[in-house]
């Protein structure tokens, strides 16, 4: 198996540390996310997975560490160092996420995310949720809404394109017939899918999903796997996901990263992780490796 995350890293995380008061939620974590990979981030509850996501997407400012994202190709180390020294946030498609505010990370570096507790615009319709996600494209097309106010034709075309894109994703997640219903009225599984579709409407290169399968039934969970695989195949979006269901992790991921008490304890292919005794012990908190292996398989 090729190790894309070493050969073609999209996001390089180095020495990331995040502290809340006395609690070190993420402790000197370094790993890379491969371009085109589905990377799974696993670990027991409270391991710091969500905190790590929040650092990547700018919701928390990490205490320490560098998060370098290259929109295309492989960024040479000296370029990253040069950018770091220069003090600026980004240059030529290379972004230092720890320096950027949250909304710029999505808008400019094109990292999108979903939340562990679903955060839809519940009082807006499904379609509106997807159109709001295309805010920046539409703002540009409408001259910051000013030209749109006087019925600028270019805005109409752009809005039509936005609706078409929304329609595309509605088809993909099977919610076309609920497009005009409020997002808050959807069943739980549909809300999860809508949140993913909404994130995809920002045209991300990296999609971060925080426990997307939590609370889904087996059929929905299988559909979710298909959706993620097709996003990767058709949109070419790399995916970083937090997941507890090992069968999902084993089935769809190319690369697994394991956190425990804020530390990175293993990083490798699903097969390697499955047999890593540290993971077995730490992740399951059991001494009996056989029992643990049974669960992981």
Partner 1 sequence: MPITRALREAAFAGLVAAGLAFPILTLGTELDQSNRLVLEQRWSWMAISAALVCVGRFLVLILASAPTHRVARAPLVSPALTRLLPSVSVMALFLFPLVMLFWLGPQGSLKWINNYGVQILIYVMLGWGLNIVVGLAGLLDLGYVAFYAVGAYTYALLSTQFGLSFWLCLPLAGLMAASWGAMLGFPVLRLRGDYLAIVTLAFGEIVSAVLTNWTDFSNGKAGIMSIPRVTFFGLPFTASENGFAATFGLEFQAIHRTIFLFYLILVLALITHVVTLRLRRLPVGRAWEALREDEIACRSLGINTVNTKLTAFALGAMFAGFAGSFFAVRQGFVNPDSFTFMESATILAIVVLGGMGSQLGVALAAVVMVGGTEVLRELTFLKEIFGSSFDPSLYRMLLFGLAMVVMMIWRPRGLISSREPSVFLAQKKNVSGALVQEGHG
Partner 2 sequence: MENFLQQLINGVTLGSIYGLIAIGYTMVFGIIGMVNFAHGDVFMLSAFIALIVFLALTQLLGLTSLGLVFLIVLICAMALTALWNWAIERVAYRPLRGSFRLAPLISAIGMSIFLANFVQVVQGPRNKPVPPMFTDVIQVTSGGAFDVTLSYKQILIVSVTGILLLAFWFLVQKTALGRAQRACEQDRTMAALLGVDVDRTISLTFIIGAALAAVAGTLYMMYYGVVNFSDGFTPGVKAFTAAVLGGIGSLPGAVIGGLLIGLIETFWSAYFSSDYKDVAAFSILIVTLIFMPSGLLGRPEVEKV
Ligand X SMILES: Nc1ncnc2c1ncn2[C@@H]1O[C@H](COP(=O)(O)OP(=O)(O)O)[C@@H](O)[C@H]1O
Q: List interacting residues with partner 2 (CB under 8 A).
A: 20, 50, 54, 59-60, 115
Q: Which stretch binds ligand X (CB under 6 A): 49-57, 172-180, 232-240, 267-275?
A: 49-57
* 3-state secondary structure (DSSP) of residue 99: helix
The DSSP-derived string for 180-226 is TSBGGGS-HHHHHHHHHHHHHTT--SEEEEESTTTT--HHHHHHHHH
Residue number of the CB closest to Mg ion reads 50
Query: Among ligand X, Mg ion, partner 1, none, what binds residue 45 when CB lies within 5 to 8 Å by partner kind?
Result: ligand X
Taking the least distance from each CB to ligand X, the nearer of 46 and 143 is 46
Residues 17-46 that bind ligand X (CB under 6 A): 20, 23, 25, 43, 45-46
Taking the least distance from each CB to partner 1, the nearer of 91 and 107 is 107
Query: Among ligand X, Mg ion, partner 2, none, what binds residue 115 when CB lies within 5 to 8 Å by partner kind?
Result: partner 2
CA 189 to chain centre: 18
What is the closest distance, in whole angstroms, from the C-beta atom of residue 165 to partner 2 in the complex?
A: 26
The DSSP-derived string for 8-64 is SEEEEEEEEEEEETTEEEEEEEEEEEETT-EEEEE-STTSSHHHHHHHHTTSS--SE
What does the alpha-carbon distance between residue 249 and residue 36 come to, in Å, rounded to a whole number?
16
| Alpha-helical regions (H) of 40-152 | 49-56, 77-86, 102-107, 126-132, 135-141, 146-149
- By CB under 8 A, is residue 148 in contact with partner 1? yes
Residues 31-90 that bind partner 1 (CB under 8 A): 57, 59
> 125: which DSSP letter?
B
What does the alpha-carbon distance between residue 194 and residue 169 come to, in Å, rounded to a whole number?
9
Query: Among Mg ion, ligand X, partner 2, none, what binds residue 32 when CB lies within 5 to 8 Å by partner kind?
Result: none
Taking the least distance from each CB to partner 1, the nearer of 139 and 214 is 139
Query: Among partner 1, ligand X, partner 2, none, what binds residue 11 when CB lies within 5 to 8 Å by partner kind?
Result: none
Query: Among Mg ion, ligand X, partner 1, none, what binds residue 15 when CB lies within 5 to 8 Å by partner kind?
Result: none
- By CB under 8 A, is residue 174 in contact with partner 1? no
Q: Copy the structure tokens of residue 124.
A: 């807006």
Whole-angstrom CA distances from 13 to 32, 141, 257 are: 6, 35, 12
- By CB under 8 A, is residue 103 in contact with partner 1? yes
* 3-state secondary structure (DSSP) of residue 101: coil
Q: Which position has the token pair 């039934």? A: 217
What does the alpha-carbon distance between residue 192 and residue 118 come to, in Å, rounded to a whole number?
7
What does the alpha-carbon distance between residue 103 and residue 199 come to, in Å, rounded to a whole number?
13
- By CB under 6 A, is residue 119 in contact with ligand X? no
User: From the list 14, 28, 79, 128, which residue makes contact with partner 1 (rule: CB under 8 A)?
Assistant: 128
Which is it for strands 111-113 and 206-210: parallel, antiparallel or unpaired? parallel
What is the closest distance, in whole angstroms, from the C-beta atom of residue 184 to partner 1 in the complex?
A: 4
- By CB under 6 A, is residue 50 in contact with ligand X? yes
Instruction: Give the interface with ligand X as residue ranges (CB under 6 A).
Output: 20, 23, 25, 43, 45-51
In the complex, the residues that contact partner 1 under the rule CB under 8 A are 57, 59, 102-107, 112-113, 115, 119-125, 127-128, 131-133, 135-136, 138-139, 142, 144-145, 148-149, 155, 159, 163, 167, 170, 176-177, 179-182, 184-185, 198-199, 202
């Amino acid at each position: 198996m090729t190790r894309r995350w070493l050969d073609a890293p999209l996001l390089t995380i180095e020495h990331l540390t995040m502290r809340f008061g006395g609690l070190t939620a993420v402790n000197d974590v370094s790993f890379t996310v491969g371009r085109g990979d589905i990377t799974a981030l696993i670990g027991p509850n409270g391991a710091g997975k969500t905190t790590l996501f929040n650092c990547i997407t700018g919701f928390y400012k990490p205490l320490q560490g560098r998060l370098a994202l290259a929109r295309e190709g492989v960024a040479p180390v000296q370029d990253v160092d040069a950018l770091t020294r220069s003090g600026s946030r980004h240059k030529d498609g290379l972004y230092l996420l720890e320096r950027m505010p949250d909304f710029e990370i999505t808008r400019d570096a094109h990292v999108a995310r979903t939340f562990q507790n679903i955060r839809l615009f519940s009082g807006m319709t499904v379609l509106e949720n997807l159109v709001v996600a295309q805010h920046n494209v539409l703002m540009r097309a409408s001259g910051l809404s000013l030209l749109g106010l006087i019925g600028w034709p270019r805005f109409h075309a752009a809005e039509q394109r936005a609706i078409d894109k929304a329609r595309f994703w509605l088809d993909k997640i099977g919610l076309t017939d609920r497009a005009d219903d409020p997002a808050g009225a959807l069943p739980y599984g549909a809300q999860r899918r809508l949140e993913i579709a909404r994130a995809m409407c920002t045209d991300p290169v990296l999609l971060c999903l925080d426990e997307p399968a939590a609370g889904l039934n087996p059929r929905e969970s299988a559909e979710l796997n298909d959706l993620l695989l097709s996003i990767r195949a058709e949109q070419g979006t790399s995916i970083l996901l937090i997941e507890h269901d090992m069968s999902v992790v084993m089935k769809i991921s190319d690369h697994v990263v394991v956190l425990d008490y804020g530390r990175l304890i293993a990083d490798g292919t699903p097969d390697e992780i499955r047999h890593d005794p540290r993971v077995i012990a730490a992740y399951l908190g059991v001494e009996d490796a056989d029992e643990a292996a049974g669960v992981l398989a």
